[in-house]
Amino acid sequence: MIEIVFRNGDMCHYKPDEYTDYRYDGKYFIVIRDKQWIGFYNLDCVEYIEVQDRVLLQRELRVGEYEAMEVPASEAEKYLKDGWRVIEG
């Protein structure tokens, strides 16, 4: 399950049978079904993303430039000490 909550309060959900993969590059979160992009989200507009039991982390490299990565929720705390923040509300 993917849940995306935007800064303006809108929400988007994808059930496991609605997507086959997802990607993020630090700036965008992309939901994929059978090699086709079905969702494309600018992370600057996102307040919260939850992907099953994993957490998306983000840190600012330079003003307006971000890096993101996904880690197991159990490992997120160690990254928070290195300047990462959890992309959530």
Tens of pLDDT, residues 8-19: 999 999 987 898
Q: Which residues contact 33 (CB under 8 A, 6 or more apart)?
A: 18, 19, 20
Query: CA-CA distance, 57 to 66, in Å (whole number)?
Result: 10
Query: CA-CA distance, 73 to 35, in Å (whole number)?
Result: 27
pLDDT of 88 > 70? The answer is no
Q: pLDDT for 43-82, tens place per residue?
A: 999 998 988 767 788 888 889 888 888 887 767 778 888 8
pLDDT of 89 > 50? The answer is no
Contact in structure between 43 and 28 (CB atoms under 8 Å): yes
